[in-house]
């Protein structure tokens, strides 16, 4: 059905307004949706009211019946600024959602449809409280008659458009972790495991339970299974309200059907499910209880999905027989910008449909969707619960276990680290093997020591940059769902990174140290390794701090090496600290390369003698190690200073990284009720 056909239909249907079927009023609609219309009894599903504990047999909070109401939702985004002379003028704003009001009773699957860019995701995000900061959201969102409160996150789940899962964990491990993290520790482990099994069965994941999630490089579960794992992760907290944005995007028809069937089952079990969807096939359309059709941010239909065809027919637009209603609506409400005429016609059609629906809505809006008092009370109780399900030590233990599993199975970074260490170690060793004890040899040894600092700093930095941003999506999702605090996550990650840094430092030391012929004392070798490991840990923390501060992986990769190069210039090799202008000398003291180089130089040269000066005037002239140390400006530095400096930097960089992560959590747009109240 193309646009031309729609125009024909419209001509046929012009003036059909008088005989149009009326949609039920809001209250009648609630009764219909709850009762005979859909063959369901009002709240007929197994949704027992919360008992005194509010928990089910597994100790998990029972789903609540959620009546969701939105009033006069209006979402606008600024259109940027323009400069007139030296003044900045706003270009105005763009209205993304306009005047959306409706009530959704519990235990229903609401599908939000409309052409691309019509505001489906914005609508679902507005209800879920997940619109990105930067615009204005006005109106009201009521959950069981109450304004969205602290408990909203606890009762709702948000299934992301993108898959955000650890690729090295199996489906079962992913779900076990989510169950342990999202259910309180008062729930016994056996009950949590039973819940995981139940959800695996419910979402048809039994066949894939022991398969790794996978990614572009590692073969894993199918796209549909990944989507269902995403849903399953959210389900483990037993949410009463589920938002699924583009639940079927990127899936083939069969997988899309199975995902939507899962969502429909969840609605049948008493939960309220809101899903945005693009052009569902007719068998998927049959699964919807309620349908909302949006175009240009306005509502063209909201009501029982089964009655949408009749509604549009009553407006003069008839869906041909044996035609998928979803395809018909998609053509009907899309703006056709191919030619100016087609655009004008489609705009007129949308205007007409918006006006008709508004007219109907105004007739029905005097009756409010009544919320049973028990539901309101249950919601009030949830609002009073603490937001995090577990205590700090439990979170730490779980995060440590997961980080360890993920890292130990992530072979690629380990292989890259090993290869880098071997290649650079042997190249350095080959270039500088058996350095002579001459003035030139001193230069070579200093060069080797600084190269060791550079290698340790860069390898650890890139290890952080390669892994930390990749986790950001998962961590953001888990933090938005109030799964855990940031500190236990941060500490667990730091601890799990340590073995790789230690292994790398040790391997590099073994290859380079003896071939080059650095200080032969055994203690000096161990100090060399200790210092490069400490430097690696500091550099890793710097990488995390930069990654946390940078908005994207690309920015992190652009900024972090630049920062390291600046710190390298203050490392004491190129310019002695004494020759650096006093105003910028402080940078030296935040440079891990400086402390590492200082430590390695003192470790290598202190107390040693016998380097010849290569002076033609005095062939017996020799240089002592202490003279070399003095020349570099480290003469007055005690050995421990490098250790203390590096330890302070590990702590300092980590504190910065933690603070940035802690305070850079995704900001969501608050709901401003003023305008909504004015209009209400």
Kindly state the smallest distance separating residue 341's Cβ from ligand ATP, in Å: 23
Cα 89 from Cα 237, distance rounded (Å): 47
Do residues 1 and 323 lie in contact, with contact meaning Cβ atoms separated by under 8 Å?
yes
Nearer to ligand ATP, 122 or 264 (CB): 122
State the minimum distance, in angstroms, from the CB of residue 296 to ligand ATP. 9
* Beta carbon nearer to ligand ATP, 103 or 118: 118
Nearer Cβ to ligand ATP (94/677): 94
Sign of CA dihedral 174, 176, 179, 184: negative
Of 326 and 642, nearer to ligand ATP (C-beta) is: 326
Q: Which residues contribute to the site for ligand ATP (CB under 6 A)? A: 77, 96, 114, 116-122, 132, 134-135, 278
* Nearest approach, Cβ of residue 89 and ligand ATP (Å): 18
CA angle at 108 for the pair 206 and 365, rounded to the nearest 5°: 165
| Kind and range of the H or E run holding 34 | helix 26-34
Of 250, 238, 231, 263, residue with least CA distance to 477: 231
Residue 276 Cβ vs ligand ATP, minimum distance, rounded to whole Å: 6
**From CA 192, how far away is CA 204, in angstroms rounded?**
18
Can you say how many angstroms the Cα of residue 66 is from the centroid of all Cα atoms in its chain?
26
- ∠ CA 414-419-424, rounded to 5°: 130
Whose Cβ is closer to ligand ATP: residue 119's or residue 633's? 119
Whether the CB-CB separation of 283 and 260 falls below 8 Å is answered with no
Separation of alpha carbons 419 and 365, rounded Å = 68
SS3 (DSSP) at 113: strand
Q: Least distance (Å) from ligand ATP to the CB of residue 134?
A: 5
Alpha helices in 481-591 (DSSP H): 486-516, 522-549, 553-569
Around Cβ 321, how many Cβ atoms within 10 Å? Answer: 5
Alpha carbon distance 261, 435 (integer Å): 72
Compute the least distance from the CB of residue 242 to ligand ATP, in Å.
17
DSSP 3-state of 481? coil
Nearer to ligand ATP, 116 or 579 (CB): 116
The strand pair at 290-295 and 298-304 is best described as: antiparallel
Whichever of 278 and 437 has its CB closer to ligand ATP, that residue is 278
Quote the CA–CA distance of 335 and 315 in Å, as a whole number: 18
Radius of gyration of the chain (CA): 32
Backbone torsions φ then ψ of 143, nearest 5 degrees: -115, 115
Q: What are phi and psi of 212, to 5 degrees?
A: -65, 150
Shortest Å distance, C-beta 292 to ligand ATP = 12
Distance of closest approach, residue 346 Cβ to ligand ATP, in angstroms? 16
The whole-angstrom separation of Cα 468 and Cα 496 is: 12
Nearer to ligand ATP by C-beta: 275 or 475?
A: 275
- Helices in 517-671 by DSSP H: which ranges? 522-549, 553-569, 592-605, 625-631, 639-663
User: DSSP characters for 283-336?
Assistant: HHHTT-SEEEEEETTEEEEEEEGGGHHHHHHHTT-PPPTT--HHHHHHHHHS--
What's the min distance (Å) between Cβ of 133 and ligand ATP?
Answer: 9
Are 371 and 145 in contact by the 8 Å Cβ rule? The answer is yes
Q: In this complex, which beta carbon is closest to ligand ATP, that of residue 124 or of residue 446?
A: 124
DSSP 45: S
Nearest residue (CB) to ligand ATP, 122 versus 174: 122
Angle of helix 340-364 versus helix 3-13 axis, rounded to 10: 50
User: 120 vs 130, which CB is nearer to ligand ATP?
Assistant: 120
Least distance to ligand ATP from the beta carbon of 161, Å? 8
| Closest separation in Å from C-beta 155 to ligand ATP | 24
Q: CB-wise, 293 or 448, nearer to ligand ATP?
A: 293
Toward ligand ATP, which CB reaches closer, 118 or 461?
118
Whether 138 contacts 108, CB under 8 Å:
no
Q: How far is the CB of 223 from ligand ATP (least distance, A)?
A: 17
Least distance between ligand ATP and beta carbon 651 (Å): 38
């Amino acid at each position: 059905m193309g646009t031309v056909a729609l125009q024909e239909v419209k001509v046929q249907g012009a003036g059909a307004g008088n005989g149009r079927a009326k949609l039920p009023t809001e209250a009648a609609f609630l009764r219909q949706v709850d009762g005979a219309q859909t063959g369901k009894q009002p709240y007929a599903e197994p949704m027992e009211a919360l008992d005194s504990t509010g928990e089910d047999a597994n100790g998990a909070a029972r789903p609540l019946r959620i009546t969701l109401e939105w009033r006069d939702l209006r979402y606008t985004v600024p259109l940027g600024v323009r400069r007139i002379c030296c003044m900045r003028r706003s270009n105005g704003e763009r209205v993304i959602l306009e005047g959306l009001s409706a009530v959704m009773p519990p235990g229903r699957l609401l599908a939000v449809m409309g052409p691309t860019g019509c505001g489906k995701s914005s609508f679902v995000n507005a209800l879920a409280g997940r619109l990105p900061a930067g615009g204005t959201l006005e109106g009201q969102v009521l959950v069981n008659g109450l304004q969205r409160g602290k408990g909203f996150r606890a009762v709702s789940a948000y299934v992301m458009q993108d898959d955000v899962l650890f690729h090295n964990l199996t489906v079962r491990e992913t779900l076990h972790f989510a169950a342990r993290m999202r259910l309180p520790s008062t729930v016994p482990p056996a009950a949590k495991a039973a819940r995981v099994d139940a959800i695996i069965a419910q979402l048809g994941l039994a066949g894939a339970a022991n398969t790794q999630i996978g990614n572009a490089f590692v073969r894993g579960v199918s796209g549909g299974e990944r989507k269902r794992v995403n849903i399953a992760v959210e389900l483990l907290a037993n949410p009463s309200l589920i938002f699924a944005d583009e639940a079927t995007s990127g899936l083939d028809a069969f997988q899309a059907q199975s995902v939507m069937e899962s969502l429909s089952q969840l609605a049948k079990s008493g939960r309220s499910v809101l899903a945005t969807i693009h052009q569902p096939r007719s068998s998927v359309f049959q699964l919807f209880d309620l349908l909302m059709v949006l175009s240009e941010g306005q509502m063209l239909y909201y009501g029982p999905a089964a009655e949408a065809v009749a509604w549009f027919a009553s407006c003069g637009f008839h869906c041909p027989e044996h035609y998928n209603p979803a395809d018909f609506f998609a053509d009907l409400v899309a703006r056709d910008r191919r030619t100016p005429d087609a655009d004008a016609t489609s705009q007129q059609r949308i205007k007409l449909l918006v006006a008709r629906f508004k007219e109907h809505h105004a007739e029905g809006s005097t009756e409010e969707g009544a919320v049973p008092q028990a539901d309101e009370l249950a919601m009030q109780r949830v609002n009073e619960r603490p937001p995090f399900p577990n205590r700090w030590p439990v979170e730490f233990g779980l995060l440590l276990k997961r980080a360890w599993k993920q890292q130990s199975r992530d072979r690629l970074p380990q292989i890259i680290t090993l290869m880098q260490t071997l290649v650079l170690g042997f190249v350095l060793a080959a270039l500088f093997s058996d350095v002579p004890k001459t003035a030139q040899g001193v230069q070579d040894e200093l060069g080797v020591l600084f190269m060791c600092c550079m290698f340790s700093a860069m390898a650890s930095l890139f290890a952080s940059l390669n892994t930390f941003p990749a986790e950001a999506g998962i961590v953001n999702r888990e933090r938005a769902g109030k799964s855990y605090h940031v500190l236990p996550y941060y500490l667990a990650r730091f601890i799990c990174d340590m073995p790789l840094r230690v292994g790398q430092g040790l391997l590099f030391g073994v290859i380079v140290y003896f071939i080059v012929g650095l200080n032969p004392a055994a203690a000096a070798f161990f100090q060399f390794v200790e210092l490069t490991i400490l430097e690696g840990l500091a550099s890793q923390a710097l990488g995390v701090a930069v990654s946390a501060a940078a908005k994207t992986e690309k920015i992190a990769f652009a900024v972090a090496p630049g920062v390291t190069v600046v710190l390298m210039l203050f490392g004491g090799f190129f310019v002695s600290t004494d020759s650096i202008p006093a105003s910028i000398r402080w940078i030296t003291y935040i440079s891990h390369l400086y402390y590492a180089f200082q430590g390695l130089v003192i470790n290598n040269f202190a107390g040693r003698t016998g380097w010849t000066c290569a002076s033609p005037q005095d062939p017996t002239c020799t240089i002592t190690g202490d003279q070399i140390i003095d020349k570099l400006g480290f003469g007055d530095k005690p050995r421990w200073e490098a250790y203390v400096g590096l330890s302070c930097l590990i702590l300092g960089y980590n504190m910065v990284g933690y603070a940035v992560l802690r305070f850079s959590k995704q900001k969501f747009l608050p709901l401003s009720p003023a305008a909504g109240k004015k209009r209400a």
